Amino acid sequence: MDRQFPLPRAMLDKSKFYNNTEPKTLKNKFETILRNQAIVNLDFLVGYFRISGFLHLYTLLEKRFFSFKRIRILVGLNVDSLIAELNQENIDIQSVDKSRFLKVFEDFQIQNIQEDTYVTQQQVEDSVDTLIQAIGEGKIQMRIVRDKNVHAKFYIFSQEPVLDSTNNDQSCIYTGSLIVGSSNLSENGLIKQYEFNAELNQSEDIETALYEFNQLWEQSVEITKKDIENIKKNSCLELLTPKDIYYKFLIEYFGKDRIQIDRSVESLFPSGYKAFEYQVDAVTDGINKLEKYNGFFLSDVVGLGKTLIATIIAQKIKLQGYVLIICPPSLKRGWEEHFKAVRVAKHFEIFTPDTLEKIINPEDFELIIVDESHRFKSSSTKRYKSLKNICHNNKRFTKKIMLLSATPQNNSPEDIENQINLFQFPSNISFGTQNLKDFFREIKKEYKDIKERLKELSKDYKKNLAFIQEQKQRLKALSEKMREGVLKYIMIRRTRKDIEKSFNQDSKNKIIFPKLNNPQTLQYVLSKEVEILTKATLDLITQEENSTKKYGYYRYLIYPNLTPQGKEMYLSQTDSKKDGNFYEQTADRLKGLMKSLMFKRFESSMQAFKETLGNQIKTLEIFIDKIQKDKQVPIPKDNFSNLEAYYEALDCDDEEGYNKFLEQYEHKLIFLEIEHFAKDYLSNLKSDLEILKDLKQKWEAITEDSKLKCLIEKIEQEFVIPLDFDSKKILIFTEATTTAKYLKEKLDLIFKGKVLQVDSSNRDDYQEKIRENFDANYEDQKDEYQILISTDTLAEGVNMHRSNILINYDAPWNATRLMQRSGRINRVGTKHKEIYIYNFLPSYLGDRILKLSEQIFQKLQSFHYTLGEDSMIFSDLEDVNTDGFGAKKTEDDEINEELQYLSEIRKLLEQNPKEFERIALLKQKSRCIVYAPQNSYIYFKQKIYEKSHRQLVIDNDHFYHIKEKREGLITQREPEKITFLQMAKFLKSQIKNTNICTNTKKHNQDIELFLKFHKEEMQKIINPPIFSESKKLTSDEQEAIFAIRSSTLSSEQKEFLQCVIKESKCDREDIKSILDSKDLSAIIEKYQNRHDEQKLKQANQTKMFLADLEIQISYKGIENE
C-alpha cells in the first residue's frame, strides 16, 4: 500500500513566490527591494504595458529618482496584424521602418486609455503626464521590442556590478533581485490579478537576464517624449473645443446611419412621385426602428404620405415572410395601387379590422402594416385580441409591426399603451428605467386625475378658466414623461413646420405648405320662440333639475328597475359572473350614452333631432306594447355581447325587426315577468313616451333653420371670390347621415347639380366622382361638383385637397375625427396657399356647449402635448405644440427641435464631409473644458444585456447635468437627469467659446460624480427597488395615512399601506375608500399583488448585466480665476 503524504502547504512567508494575494503582491515586493539604497539600476522587460497604470510604478520610484543611475523599460508588442501586413508587402520585420512599430504601440495605448475602467480619469491623466515628464527629463528610457517572439516578463533590480577577483577580474558579481513570472507592468499585474512570480538572487541569474535584456535593447525602437505626447493628443485625453464637442455629441446621439441619407431609397419611388427628403428619412429611420424594437408608429400629421412611406419600407426591408396589411375597407384600393406602383416584390394580403379571424396562416406573415391603428386602441375588443394574437405569433418569424396613424391617441394614454403592446411585451424595459406596464400605470393614474378634475371644472366653466391653465401644465409634464420615456424611441412624427424647417434643404424638391389658419366660428342666432324651446329641450334631455318635465330614459334602465326578486332571477340566469353593482353601473352608463346621443343629434340639425325623436317614440311604443301584451321583457344574458344588438332591435321601426332579434338571440335571453319590475316602471315608460311625443309635436311646428341659413350665407360668400387655377370647392362634414341628406336636399335647391352627398351606404358608388372632382393628385380631373357633404366615412384615407375650405357642421365628440377631417384638404400636392376651417357654434347654448366641449379640449390638448400638431383644430384655447412636450411656442418656433439638430449635423456632412469625418473619428470618450460659468454636462450610452443568452435588453442614451443646491453656507452638487434637447441647446450656446482650460482636476472630479450617479441609476434597472423613495404627499394622502394609523389593521399592514401611499402608487379611488373608512383588506390585497409582481420583476432583472460604457462625452465650464 502506497504511503500517504501530507498535502502541500499554503505559501510560507519565506517563499520567494508571489501571487498578488496580500501581503505577497508584486507591488509590495517591489517596495521591499527598493528600500535597499544600493539598488541603482532597473531593467524591466514586459510583454504588456499600459500607460494608464504607470502611476503605480512611478509612486514607487519618485522618492528615489535622483539616486537611480539607470531605469530602462523594454516593452513587447502584439505585432500579429503588422506581421500580416509585412508578409503581404514581402518585407522582413527586422528591416521595417521603426515608425510602423511606434504606430502599433500608439494605437494600443490610445485604446487602453479609452477603455481603462480600473483607474479613475484623473489617475489615467496623471500617469500619462508623469511618463511624459519622466522621459523628457531622462529619468526613464523606454523602447519597443522588434522581435515578434518576445513574450517574456522579468524585472531586474541590481546594484553596480563588482569585479570578480577570484576570476582575475574577467567577470563581475551582480547583486540584487530578478523577478520572473506572469505579471505585466500594469495595475492588474502589480496588485489586482492573480499572477505567479518568483524572485531569484543568484549573480549568474541576474547576469544572464541582463545579457538577454541588452541584446533585445540594442535591436529595439526608442520611445521618446514626443511619442507619448502624440498618444495623449490622439487619445480621449485631448481637450476638444466646444464646437467639436457639440458636433461630436450630435454625431454620436443620432448615429451615422441616421445622419447619412440612404439615396438608394429614392430609386424606389414610383414614376410621377417626388422623393421628398422627409419621406426618404422616414424610410431609413423606420427600418432601423423595426430592426431594433420590432415595431414603430408612423404618425406624421395627416396628408404627408404615410401610405407611400410604409409601402417603400415594405419593398426595402429584408424579409423572408409575407406582408399583411390591415386597413379599413375604404382604404384597401389605395394600398393595392401603392404596392403596384412601387412594385413591391413580396407576397402581401389585405384584411380589414373586422375580418382578422379569417386569417388561417398568421405564422407566415413577417411584416404587419396596420393602417389607422387607432382603431385598435381598446384592448378589450375582439378585433384587438385577434390582432395581438397575430402579432405575437412568432412560430416562424419575429413579427415586425408598422402602426400608421396621425392620431394614435384618441382618448387617453392607454390608447398608445395598447398599440405598443402589439409589438412589445408589457414586462419589457427596452425604453427606460421601468417596464411598460409600470410606466403606463403611473401615466394613466395621473391622466385619470386630470380628467376627474376637469369634470369638477365643468360645473362652473367661466370661473375656472385659470384652472384650465393648471391642467395644461399637468398635461404637458405628463406628456413629456411619456415622450422621453417611450415615444421618442418608437415613433416617427413630423408636422408641416418640421418639414419646412428641417427637410427643405433640397431646392429642387422643396415643399411649400399652405398656411393653416386658426379655426373660425360660425355663430348663428335663433328667434326668441326657438330659443325658448331649445332651452326647454336641452333641460329635458340633459335632465336639468329646473326642468318642468322629467324625462327619465327608463327604457334604458331595465336592471335598476327590477325588484329584489327580479334582480335575483336575472343574476341566477346570466352567464356572467358580474354582480348587481356591475349591471347598475352599466345601465347608468347606457343612460349617459343616450343623453349624449340626444344632444349630439340636437346639435347636428333640427332634422336629425326630429328623426331621432320619431325613432325613440316608435321603439318605446313597441317596448311598452310588448310589456302590456306579453307581460314579459327579454333581457340579454351577456351585456357585453348583446347590448348593441338588443338596443338596435329596440330602435327598429316596426315589430318585424323586434321579432327577428328574438328569434336570433332567444337562447341568450332572459325573459322576466312584468311582476319582476318595480310597480311604477310601466307608468314611467308611458310618461317618457308622452314627453317625447309632446316635444316632437312642438319641433314639427318650427320651420325656421338659422343654422342652415348661416351655412348657405357662408357658401355664397365663398363662391363670390373665384380661384385663378380651379373652381371653388367646399367640404362639409357632419356626424349624422340624416343631417347630410337634409343638407343635400336644401343646398340642391340653390346650387343645383353642384352638390355631392356621401355616406357609408353610397361611398363605393361615388369613389371615382370624389377623386375626379376633389383629388388634386388625380390625372383626369373634372368639375361636376363644387360642394361635398359627407359623414365621417370620408374622414380617413381620402384626398380632397382641390378644396381648401372645411366646414364642420357639427362637432364630433371624438378629437381624432376633427384632425382626420382637416387632413382631407391639408395635404401634400395642394395648390392652395391657405386652408380655412369653420366650426358651427350656436350662441344659444352658452356655457352648456362649453362644458360639453371640455372633453374635446382635454383630448386635443393631451394629443398636442404628447405628439404635436400643426395647428389648432377646434378652439383657440388649444396650446398647439409641434415639438410635443416643450414650452408654448410662437408660430415661427413651432418645430420639432430634435429634427432641427439632425438637420444641422446633416448640413455639416453635406457641406464639409472631411470635417464631419474628422469629428466622427474623435474618441468616444471626449471632453471639453473651458473658462466659462460653472457648468457640467455629460452624455452616456450604455447597453444592458440579459445574462444567459446575452440578448440586448436596453440600449439607451443618458444625459446628466450637475445641479447646485445651496443650503446655508454649504453648496451641494448633485447630478440630475436631463433630456437631449437640454444638453444640445447648452452645448450649442457655447460653440464660439475658444478659451480652453487645461486644468482637468475639477472636470475629472465631476466625471467621478457622474459615473457614480449613473451606476446607481443603472442598478435601479437591474435591481429595481420594491419601494421607491417617498414623494411630497397631497392633503388627501396625508389624511389617509392618519386614517390608517388609527385603524384596526396590524402594524405590518399599516406599514405596508403607508409605504404604498408615500410612494404615490395608491390610486385616487382607493385613497377615497380609506378616507371613507371602507374595508381596507381588499385594498391591501390589491397592492400586495402589485408588490409581488415587482419582486418577481426584480428577481428576473437581476439576471441582467451592464456592458461597458460605449460613449462618454462631457463638458465642463470653470470660472476663470
**Does residue 545 lie within any of the structural domains?**
yes
Q: Which of 37-46, 139-148, 259-268, 1068-1077 is least confident?
A: 1068-1077
Count each helix (H run) and each strand (E run) in the chain, helices first: 39, 31
Residue length of the chain: 1121
Residue closest to 591 by CA, chosen among 519, 643, 529: 643
* Mean pLDDT over the full length of the chain: 82
pLDDT of the residue at 888: 33
Distance CA 647, CA 651 (A): 6
Distance CA 998, CA 251 (A): 25
pLDDT of the residue at 1075: 79
pLDDT of the residue at 883: 38
Q: Cα–Cα distances in Å, from 923 out to 114, 1002, 1108?
A: 8, 21, 15
**DSSP code at position 249:** H
Question: How does DSSP assign 255-305, residue by residue?
Answer: -HHHHS--GGGGGGSPTT----HHHHHHHHHHHHHHHHHSEEEE-PPTTS-
In the predicted model, what is the mean pLDDT of residues 362-367? 95
Higher pLDDT, 863 or 758: 758
pLDDT of the residue at 689: 93
**Does residue 736 lie within any of the structural domains?**
yes
Do 680 and 818 fall into the same domain?
A: no
Strands 197-200 and 221-223: unpaired
Kindly report the backbone phi and psi dihedral angles of residue 748, in degrees, each rounded to the nearest multiple of 5, phi listed first.
-60, -30
Kindly report the backbone phi and psi dihedral angles of residue 852, in degrees, each rounded to the nearest multiple of 5, phi listed first.
-70, -30
Find the DSSP H helices in 736-804: 737-748, 767-774
Distance CA 497, CA 112 (A): 46
pLDDT of the residue at 554: 87
- Residue 152 sits in a domain whose CATH number is 3.30.870.10
In the predicted model, what is the mean pLDDT of residues 651-659? 57
Q: pLDDT per residue over 946-963, tens digit each?
A: 665 556 666 788 899 998
Strands 162-163 and 172-173: antiparallel
Contact 268, 312 (CB under 8 A): yes
Distance CA 1021, CA 292 (A): 20
Beta bridge partners of 942: 956
Burial of 627 (0-12, 13-18, 19+ CB in 10 A): middle
- Confidence bin at 548 (pLDDT 50/70/90): low
Amino acid identity of residue 965, one-letter, is: K
- Residue 776 sits in a domain whose CATH number is 3.40.50.300
> Of the residues 638, 668, 700, which one is the last residue of a structural domain?
700
- Confidence bin at 842 (pLDDT 50/70/90): low
Q: Which of 680-689, 709-718, 822-831, 887-896 is least confident?
A: 887-896
For CA atoms 726, 731, 737, 740, the dihedral sign is negative
pLDDT of the residue at 124: 86
Residue closest to 425 by CA, chosen among 459, 376, 392, 470: 392
Compute how many other C-beta atoms are within 10 angstroms of the C-beta atom of residue 78. 13
Higher pLDDT, 950 or 751: 751
Domain that holds residue 736: 515-524+704-882
pLDDT of the residue at 315: 95
Distance CA 785, CA 726 (A): 12
Alpha carbon 958 to chain centroid distance?
14
pLDDT of the residue at 992: 92
Contact 795, 740 (CB under 8 A): no
> Of the residues 850, 882, 914, which one is the last residue of a structural domain?
882
Distance CA 611, CA 738 (A): 8
Beta bridge partners of 401: 295, 368
Residue closest to 639 by CA, chosen among 565, 568, 589, 564: 589
Do 107 and 209 fall into the same domain?
A: yes
Distance CA 673, CA 633 (A): 7
Assign residue 553 a region: left if phi > 0, alpha if psi is -120 to 50, beta otherwise? left
Distance CA 499, CA 280 (A): 12
| Residue 862 pLDDT > 60 | no
Compute how many other C-beta atoms are within 10 angstroms of the C-beta atom of residue 340. 11
- Confidence bin at 544 (pLDDT 50/70/90): low
Contact 1032, 1067 (CB under 8 A): no
Give every CB contact of residue 641 below 8 A, 6+ residues apart in sequence: 668
Give every CB contact of residue 863 below 8 A, 6+ residues apart in sequence: 407, 409, 815, 819, 869
Residue closest to 374 by CA, chosen among 406, 351, 400: 406
Give every CB contact of residue 595 below 8 A, 6+ residues apart in sequence: 541, 542, 543, 553
Kindly report the backbone phi and psi dihedral angles of residue 331, in degrees, each rounded to the nearest multiple of 5, phi listed first.
-100, -5
Q: pLDDT per residue over 570-627, tens digit each?
A: 888 776 667 777 778 777 777 777 877 788 888 888 899 999 899 889 888 878 887 8
| Residue 841 pLDDT > 60 | yes
Q: Which of 693-702, 855-864, 890-899 is least confident?
A: 855-864
| Residue 1018 pLDDT > 60 | yes
Do 553 and 629 fall into the same domain?
A: yes
**Does residue 12 lie within any of the structural domains?**
no
For CA atoms 150, 156, 161, 165, the dihedral sign is negative
Do 497 and 520 fall into the same domain?
A: no
Strands 1111-1118 and 141-144: unpaired
Strands 669-673 and 787-790: unpaired
In the predicted model, what is the mean pLDDT of residues 990-1004? 89
Kindly report the backbone phi and psi dihedral angles of residue 197, in degrees, each rounded to the nearest multiple of 5, phi listed first.
-130, 150
In the predicted model, what is the mean pLDDT of residues 106-134? 84
For CA atoms 904, 909, 910, 914, the dihedral sign is positive
**Strand order of the sheet with strand 348-351?**
348-351, 322-326, 365-371, 400-404, 295-298, 491-492
Domain count, the chain: 6
Helix axes 121-136, 225-234, angle to 10 degrees: 150
Q: Cα–Cα distances in Å, from 1073 out to 448, 1044, 1061, 1082, 1088?
A: 17, 11, 13, 11, 17
pLDDT of the residue at 515: 87
**Does residue 263 lie within any of the structural domains?**
no
Residue closest to 55 by CA, chosen among 153, 133, 111: 133
Residue closest to 406 by CA, chosen among 836, 893, 796: 796
Q: pLDDT per residue over 1047-1083, tens digit each?
A: 878 877 888 888 887 766 777 778 878 877 766 777 8
For CA atoms 733, 738, 741, 745, the dihedral sign is negative
> Of the residues 857, 882, 907, which one is the last residue of a structural domain?
882
Q: pLDDT per residue over 91-118, tens digit each?
A: 666 667 788 888 888 988 888 888 877 6
pLDDT of the residue at 879: 44
**DSSP code at position 8:** P
Contact 581, 573 (CB under 8 A): no
Positions of E strands within 76-148:
141-144
Cell of 668: 341568450
Do 907 and 983 fall into the same domain?
A: yes
Residue closest to 1111 by CA, chosen among 917, 939, 921: 939
pLDDT of the residue at 850: 44
**Does residue 797 lie within any of the structural domains?**
yes
Q: pLDDT per residue over 157-210, tens digit each?
A: 999 999 888 877 688 999 999 999 998 887 788 888 899 999 999 999 999 999
**Does residue 278 lie within any of the structural domains?**
yes
Do 93 and 120 fall into the same domain?
A: yes
In the predicted model, what is the mean pLDDT of residues 374-403? 92
pLDDT of the residue at 148: 63
Contact 404, 310 (CB under 8 A): yes
- Confidence bin at 744 (pLDDT 50/70/90): very high
Do 1007 and 912 fall into the same domain?
A: yes
Do 427 and 557 fall into the same domain?
A: no
Contact 796, 328 (CB under 8 A): yes
Do 322 and 437 fall into the same domain?
A: yes
Grid-cell match 375588443, residue found: 381
Percent of the chain with pLDDT over 70: 83
Do 66 and 214 fall into the same domain?
A: yes
Question: How does DSSP assign 175-207, residue by residue?
Answer: -EEEEEES--BSHIIIIIS---EEEE--HHHHH
pLDDT of the residue at 844: 56
Distance CA 624, CA 425 (A): 50
Give every CB contact of residue 634 below 8 A, 6+ residues apart in sequence: 662, 669, 670, 671
Higher pLDDT, 427 or 840: 840
Do 498 and 519 fall into the same domain?
A: no
pTM: 0.75
pLDDT of the residue at 642: 47
Q: Which of 406-420, 443-457, 486-500, 681-695 is least confident?
A: 443-457
Question: How does DSSP assign 679-717, residue by residue?
Answer: TTHHHHHHHHHHHHHHHHHHHHT----HHHHHHHHHHHH
Do 1091 and 995 fall into the same domain?
A: no
**Does residue 466 lie within any of the structural domains?**
no
Q: Which of 115-119, 473-477, 628-632 is least confident?
A: 115-119
Q: pLDDT per residue over 8-45, tens digit each?
A: 766 556 788 889 888 889 989 999 999 999 999 999 99
Return the ∠ at Cα 663 (arms to 657 and 668), rounded to 5°.
115
pLDDT of the residue at 638: 55
| Residue 214 pLDDT > 90 | yes
